[in-house]
Amino acid sequence: MININVDGAFCSDSQKVVVGIVARDSYGMVLGGMTRQVELPNMAESTEVYAFTQGIRLAVENGWSNVIIEGDAISVVNRLANRYKTIPRTTL
């Protein structure tokens, strides 16, 4: 089991958008991750969606099939959980 934690942050003062991702195995060992400053619309939810997308992409690119992706944006989590039981690779 691979656990991927994703998060996005938007600072309205500096107008900077940053996402962070970390993937860990079932023992808690870090398998990979990234941080990136990105150019997105100035909305917190857009930032979180981008973070989830990058987390999914990390799993697909590494061939991980038994994955849990976690984030703190409940609106994004609920939309993804209700829309897809499994996400087809062709949509990424």
Residue pLDDT, tens place only, 2-50? 999 999 887 778 778 889 999 999 999 999 999 988 876 666 777 888 8
3-state secondary structure of 31: strand
Q: Which domains are delineated in the chain?
A: 2-91 (3.30.420.10)
- 79-84: average pLDDT: 63
Distance between alpha carbon 54 and the CA centroid of its chain, in Å?
Answer: 5
**Whether residue 87 has pLDDT greater than 70:** no
Q: Which pLDDT band holds residue 67 (cuts at 50, 70, 90)?
A: very high
Q: What tokens were used for 41?
A: 């619309």
Q: Which pLDDT band holds residue 92 (cuts at 50, 70, 90)?
A: very low
- Give which of 37, 49, 48 is closest to 8, Cα–Cα: 48
